[in-house]
């Protein structure tokens, strides 16, 4: 064992000198990777957690390992996780049951994925490579994440563990943005900014837009705002004080991260999310306080000039500027698309709007018009039929969450968590008009996980109801016979 360790160190030093310290570090991590791989194969829940964490960090890792094909890496992790579930499903001692994967959200994901499969035969598309390249973000990850979550997270304890891990990762993301703000960018980030062109959109006249370890500031801002809404509402209904405080702190950090991003569209997430929360709370005091805060924030940004000297306040205030140049360009692009898309009811085909494609020929018109929106992107590639189907699925999920919170869920803690997730996705839906966040790591897959949690919530509700009933029964028996004897 000692000799193997020495050889590994020597090999790492050689690779570091020959190819750089990043590759030397990779050599050192090979044994750890093998251990993790074996653990993932043997433990499906562990594999799911690794997939969740990797999804959150992979785009940041790719900035430091420039040639890393992070899409392929995630595909491999998906494959390992799926294989782990299948292999353990044959084990009689395992509690893996694939019948648990059949629920409303999985059915919706299957419908959408089947539509994406039909797009292979779109007469406007000229490349199967385009479809294979883009279908993962548009439809495949939606299906895989909802199925895996439905099988893996069958208890409320599992849901809370995922929320806790998500909160930790959110704090790390904001901490990274704070390091960029107060200590400066590192070499990899400077390379992305000044060599790869990120500077043009992140160091602008209104100030620097910080992006943490995400692909850009827009993804960071809207995604971290989504997290902030979820954790702020979760904190209200959390029973344990230490977790309540932790989630409140996480929510506050997320909102600060949103401000650091300088992403104007992200402001829609808390505005919409907290308005939906006020409605779903069914509590008059909560409704009045929440609406008062939201209206005050709107009036502050729309009708006053307080804080105008602060770049973040100034940039958020520009959201309410109807003469904004970027909004004008966005609307002009959509007018051009409207004319071109009239003859393409099922779009130009999945992957055919990519202007950076170098191994196939994208659509000559669509690829020259930036979508700047998840919905416009879906419209381009899937036509008005695909857009309406996609929006219908999103609305069904949102309405289902609202109905569960309003009428069905009985346990207040579960109801609170599902309310938080429902409010979060409502805000993210609106923000997606200005960014393609749903189809990107990490918040696309996280959105699909939250959707699965919403549809699984009646399972969690029954679980806690039965547990409480058994506890009450045991307590009553103890009152009748405190000594636990029959005599």
In this prediction, residue 324 carries a pLDDT of 61
**pLDDT tens track for 84-118:** 999 887 776 677 777 778 899 999 999 999 999 99
Rounded percentage of the chain residues whose pLDDT exceeds 70: 87
The pLDDT of residue 414: 95
Residue 429 has pLDDT above 50, yes or no: yes
pLDDT digits (tens, 9 = 90+) for 118-155: 999 999 887 888 899 899 999 999 999 999 999 999 89
Residue 290 has pLDDT above 90, yes or no: no
**Would the pLDDT of 67 be above 80?**
no
CB of 33 closer than 8 Å to CB of 146? no
**Is the model's pTM score more than 0.85?**
yes
Q: How high does pLDDT run on average in the chain?
A: 87
Per DSSP, what are the bridge partners of residue 207?
A: 204
> Helices H, strands E: what count in the chain?
19, 2
Per-residue model confidence (pLDDT) at position 35: 82
State the CB neighbour count (10 A cutoff) for residue 116: 22
* Rg, Å, the chain Cα set: 24
- Across 353-373, average pLDDT: 79
pLDDT > 50? residue 211: yes
Q: Which residues contact 187 (CB under 8 A, 6 or more apart)?
A: none
Asked whether residue 486 carries a pLDDT value surpassing 50, the answer given is: no
What are the φ/ψ torsions at residue 207 (nearest 5 degrees)?
Answer: 130, -170
Beta bridge partners of 203: 208
- Say what percent of the chain tops pLDDT 90: 57
pLDDT tops 60 at residue 5: no
Provide the pLDDT for residue 455. 97
Q: Name the residue with higher pLDDT: 25 or 352.
A: 352
Mean pLDDT, residues 418-424 = 97
**Residue 413 pLDDT exceeds 90:** yes
In the chain, where are the structural domains located? 99-461
Phi, psi of 204 (to 5 degrees): -125, 180
Residue pointed to by tokens 């502050």:
300
Q: Which two tokens stand for residue 427?
A: 């805000």
Give, for 402, the enclosing helix (H) or strand (E): helix 374-403
| Average pLDDT of span 277-298 | 86
Give the Cβ contact number of residue 73 at 10 Å.
15
3-class SS of residue 170: helix
What is the phi/psi pair of residue 323, to 5°?
Answer: -95, 15
Distances, alpha carbon 3 to alpha carbons 8, 105, 225, in Å: 9, 52, 50
């Amino acid at each position: 064992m000692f000799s193997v360790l020495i050889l590994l160190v020597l090999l790492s030093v050689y690779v570091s000198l020959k190819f750089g310290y990043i590759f030397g570090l990779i050599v050192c991590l090979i044994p750890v990777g093998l251990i993790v791989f074996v653990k993932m194969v043997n433990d499906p829940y562990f594999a799911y957690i690794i997939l969740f964490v990797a999804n959150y960090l992979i785009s940041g890792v790719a900035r430091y390992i420039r040639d890393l094909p992070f899409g392929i890496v995630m595909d491999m992790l998906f494959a390992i996780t799926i294989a782990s579930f299948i292999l353990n499903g044959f084990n009689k001692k395992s509690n893996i049951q694939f019948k648990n994967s059949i629920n409303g959200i999985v059915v919706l994901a299957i419908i959408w994925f089947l539509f994406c499969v039909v797009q292979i035969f779109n007469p406007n598309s000229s490349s199967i490579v385009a479809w294979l390249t883009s279908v993962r973000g548009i439809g495949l990850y939606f299906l895989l994440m909802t199925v895996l979550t439905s099988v893996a997270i069958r208890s409320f304890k599992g849901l809370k563990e995922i929320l806790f891990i998500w909160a930790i990762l959110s704090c790390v993301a904001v901490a990274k943005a704070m390091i960029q703000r107060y200590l400066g960018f590192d070499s990899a980030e400077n390379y992305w900014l000044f060599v790869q062109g990120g500077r043009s959109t992140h160091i602008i006249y209104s100030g620097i837009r910080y992006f943490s370890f995400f692909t850009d500031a827009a993804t960071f801002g809207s995604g971290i705002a989504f997290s902030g809404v979820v954790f702020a509402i979760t904190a209200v209904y959390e029973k344990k004080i230490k977790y309540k405080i932790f989630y409140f702190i996480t929510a506050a950090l997320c909102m600060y991260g949103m401000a650091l991003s300088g992403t104007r569209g992200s402001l829609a997430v808390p505005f919409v999310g907290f308005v939906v929360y006020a409605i779903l709370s069914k509590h008059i005091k909560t409704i009045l306080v929440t609406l008062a805060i939201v209206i005050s924030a709107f009036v502050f940004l729309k009708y006053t000039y307080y804080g105008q000297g602060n770049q973040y306040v100034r940039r958020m205030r520009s959201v309410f500027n109807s003469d904004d140049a970027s909004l004008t360009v966005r609307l002009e692009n959509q007018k051009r698309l409207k004319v071109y898309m009239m003859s393409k009811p099922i779009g130009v085909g999945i992957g055919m709007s990519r202007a950076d494609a170098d191994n196939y020929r994208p659509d000559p018109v669509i690829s020259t018009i930036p979508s700047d929106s998840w919905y416009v992107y879906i419209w381009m590639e899937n036509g008005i039929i695909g857009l309406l189907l996609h929006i219908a699925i999103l609305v069904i999920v949102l309405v289902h969450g609202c109905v569960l919170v309003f009428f069905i869920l009985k346990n207040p803690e579960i109801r609170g968590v599902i309310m938080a997730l429902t409010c979060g996705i409502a805000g993210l839906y609106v923000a997606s008009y200005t960014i393609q966040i749903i189809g990107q790591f990490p918040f696309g897959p996280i959105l699909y996980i939250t959707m699965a949690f919403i549809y699984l919530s009646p399972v969690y509700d029954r679980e806690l109801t039965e547990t409480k009933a058994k506890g009450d029964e045991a307590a009553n028996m103890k009152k009748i016979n405190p000594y636990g004897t029959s005599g």
